[in-house]
Amino acid sequence: MISRRITRRPEKWATLMSGVKHRWIIPFVAFEWLWEWVAYGLSRWSFLEVLEYLGSFSVLIGVIFYFSESGDRVKQRHYQAWQVINTAQGKGGSGGRIEALQELNEDHVQLVGVDVSSAFLQGIRLEHANLLRADLSAADVRGGNLSEATLSYADMHSANFRGSRLAHAVLSDADLHDADLVGADLEGAKLDGADLTSADLRDAKLKDIDWQKVKSVKGANIGGVVHAPDGFVKWALLNGASETTEGAN
């Protein structure tokens, strides 16, 4: 709230001088007395009160414009993130893609069909991401978190998901042949139609996976899998999988 305080009228010079005991202090007293008169005069000037109101009004207008343009700022941020991803397409390394992908996902932007093949995405966090038909082939996603992500029809062949979290992820019809899933958490993952040909599943956590319609496990290594559903290991071995634990760590 704006309040204008009327300054008290300064004392007369003669009255002020009557109280001064030392002559050397007179210049300082005079300086202070001069500014008291300036303050007194300005405190009675209504124009300054108007300026205060205008100043507060300009702040309000600034706030309104800031929020009204927030959508444009978000769009610009998303555009820059996609630019980072697309510019680095098909290249190794991160190239800022980890931050860009995470930012888009946090803003609930669909990542359908994104191409991050051969990218370095170690430790990326893409929980609940929609990566339908995404290309993660040969990507390094070690230690990443894609829990509850949608990866249906995704190309994940030869990708490194060692130690990654894919709990409750939808991997329907995903291409996981030659993928490294050593120690990965696949609890509750939906694998109907998934191609696990020659995939390395050693020490993977397989509790409650939906496996009955897996397309292929030929050549896959299921050595040391943890909490595999009843019948999975037997079925996998009968369909060309092997069970060795050497070099899992």
Closest CA to 191 of 209, 178, 204, 165: 209
What's the whole-number mean pLDDT along residues 16-39?
70
Name the token pair of 45: 């000037």
pLDDT above 70: residue 170:
yes
- What integer pLDDT is reported at residue 139 of this predicted model? 96
Mean pLDDT, the chain, as a whole number? 86
- Asked if pLDDT for residue 21 goes beyond 90, the answer is no
pLDDT digits (tens, 9 = 90+) for 189-243: 999 999 999 999 999 999 999 999 999 999 999 999 999 999 999 999 999 999 9
pTM given for the model: 0.71
Residue 246 has pLDDT above 80, yes or no: no
pLDDT attached to residue 68: 58
Measured CA angle at 21 (ends 15, 25), to 5 deg: 90
116 CB-contact burial (10 Å; exposed 0-12 / middle 13-18 / buried 19+): buried
CA 207 to chain centre: 29
pLDDT by residue (tens digit) across 146-161?
Answer: 999 999 999 999 999 9
Pick from 141, 142, 179: which is nearest to 131 by CA?
Answer: 141
91 pLDDT tier (thresholds 50, 70, 90): confident
d(CA 14, CA 185): 90
- Statement: residue 37 has pLDDT above 80: no
Closest CA to 211 of 248, 182, 241, 183: 241
Confidence of residue 1 (pLDDT cuts 50, 70, 90): very low
Tokens 């190794």 identify what position?
92
Query: In the prediction, which pLDDT does 2 show?
Result: 47
Q: Is the pLDDT of residue 123 over 80?
A: yes
Please name the CATH architecture into which domain 92-243 falls: 3 Solenoid (2.160)
- Contacting residues for 126 by C-beta, under 8 A, at least 6 apart: 101, 102, 105, 111, 144, 145, 146, 149
pLDDT of residue 125: 98
> Does the pLDDT at position 61 exceed 90?
no
**What pLDDT sits at residue 53?**
64
Concatenate the DSSP letters of all residues of 87-123 into one string.
Answer: HTTT-SS-TTHHHHHHHHHHTT---TT-B-TT-B-TT
Q: Which long-range contacts (CB under 8 A, 24 or more apart) does 11-18 make?
A: none
Domain positions in the chain:
13-68, 92-243
